[in-house]
Chains A and B, each alone.
Chain A
Amino acid sequence: MASTIRVRAQANGTNTEVQALIQHPMDSGFVKDSNGVLIPPHHIETVTFTHAGKTVLTANWGPAVSKDPYIKFSFKGGAKGDDLTVTWIDNLGKTDTLAAKIA
């Protein structure tokens, strides 16, 4: 299966702008399905962006974050060709990680 993570990171000299899209149902645990049964909570709890061995962003997400979440931020530093690693862990312990090159 293809990765659940899409990343685009662009270095402009001083900063690196990062955009990422993660495929995840992000079920809040408050929604019922068509049979009236509660859909158990299933959402990402932590997303980490690592650059050169240093965590540049940690996001603590919960049930209020939308399905297939999108995140955009920038950090100081980063150069073209550097690796940027994205990792998410959800409340069921599932996880995915992807290393992308900064463009």
Chain B
Amino acid sequence: MKPRAAFPRCAALTLAACLLGAAGPAPRADLASAAADQKAFQDHFKSRFPEVPFADFANGPYAVNAAMRKQWEEIMQFPPYDFALDEGKTAFETKFANGKSYADCFANGGIGVRQDFPYFDTKSGEVITLDLAINRCREANGEKPLPYQTGMMASLTAYMAETSRGKPFAIKIPDDPRALAAYEAGKKYFYTRRGQLNFSCATCHVGAAGQRMRGDILAPAMGILAAFPIYRSDWGSMGTIDRRFTSCSAQMRSEPLPPQDVAYRNLEYFLSYMGNGVPISGPGTRP
């Protein structure tokens, strides 16, 4: 591991351009450019952490820090998300008041489908995350939507992720200008600096991945969503991707967006697409 050797020739500000190969001021977005983005993104992490097997990026900071990995392996003998997983399984198998269940809303009965989320829905023209799909399913069946971020939503997604473990992220960008626009919007969000601290997502999770931010090891952005939802010791409870996005935003001293905001969904779309091929490892534990 050579954490200091990151981006020897890239200043942080031109990071996005560096990753894209700096072709021009505003390269025209098309499907090929998204695929090229993905290749450049993944190549960066592969060359930055040559000793880390590709699939291990699903384990976030533990892939790049041996000391943390040791602690994690100890924790995983008795994973703290166990209780949530049980709760999620029970809820998933419980029928709604109208006799239907979550299984009726998802392909393959909702088992082993986590790697296909988020997807771009060409009918409604928006990015559908797993969490949103769960709530849409509830509403379609006359149930109240669940609050995002924690609680039952985390338990349900934990169970659905667990049934998908080992399946590589398979995010597709359909040939639809709106899908590309959503991808581009997510990319823009990822590389835009914000908040009083003036950090972008990429500043920490691309530029400084594997290095310390105070006591924490910054997880590499590639495959960073594979472990969600997570039991975070700092929270003392489970949290979804929304909880991570909003708390990350707040830590940059920017105003967090509401959960499942279009911008967050586009960000999740972009990030998941960048992690294509990294196997689902959720639910996970993080310090």
Residues of chain A at the chain B interface (Cβ within 8 Å): 2, 6, 8, 19, 21, 23, 66-68, 70
Contacts and interface: CB of A to CB of B under 8 A. Distances in A.
A8 B82 CA distance: 13
Contacts of A23: 83
Interface in B58-91: 77-78, 80, 82-83, 86, 90
B24 interface: no
10 closest A-B pairs by beta carbon, nearest first, are A23-B83, A2-B86, A21-B78, A67-B236, A19-B78, A6-B82, A70-B78, A68-B80, A19-B77, A21-B82
Contacts of B77: 8, 19
18 contacts: A2-B86, A2-B90, A6-B78, A8-B77, A19-B77, A19-B78, A21-B78, A21-B80, A21-B82, A23-B83, A66-B236, A67-B236, A67-B237, A68-B80, A68-B83, A68-B236, A70-B78, A70-B80
A86 B94 CA distance: 30
Interface in B77-115: 77-78, 80, 82-83, 86, 90
A6 B90 CA distance: 17
B83 to A, nearest CB: 5
Contacts of A68: 80, 83, 236
A23 B86 CA distance: 12
Interface in B148-204: none
Given A6-B82, A8-B78, 11 more contacts: A2-B86, A6-B78, A8-B77, A19-B78, A21-B78, A21-B80, A21-B82, A23-B83, A67-B237, A68-B80, A68-B83
Interface in B206-265: 236-237
SS of B interface (majority): mixed
Interface of B: 77-78, 80, 82-83, 86, 90, 236-237
A70 B78 CA distance: 9
A90 to B, nearest CB: 17
A68 B83 CA distance: 10
A66 B83 CA distance: 16
Nearest to B90: A2
Nearest to A26: B236
A64 B78 CA distance: 21
Contacts of B90: 2
A67 B237 CA distance: 9
B62 to A, nearest CB: 19
Contacts of A66: 236
Contacts of A6: 78, 82
Contacts of B82: 6, 21
A6 B83 CA distance: 9
A86 to B, nearest CB: 14
A70 B83 CA distance: 13
A23 B236 CA distance: 12
Nearest to A19: B78
Nearest to A23: B83
A46 to B, nearest CB: 21
Contacts of B236: 66-68
B152 to A, nearest CB: 15
A66 B233 CA distance: 11
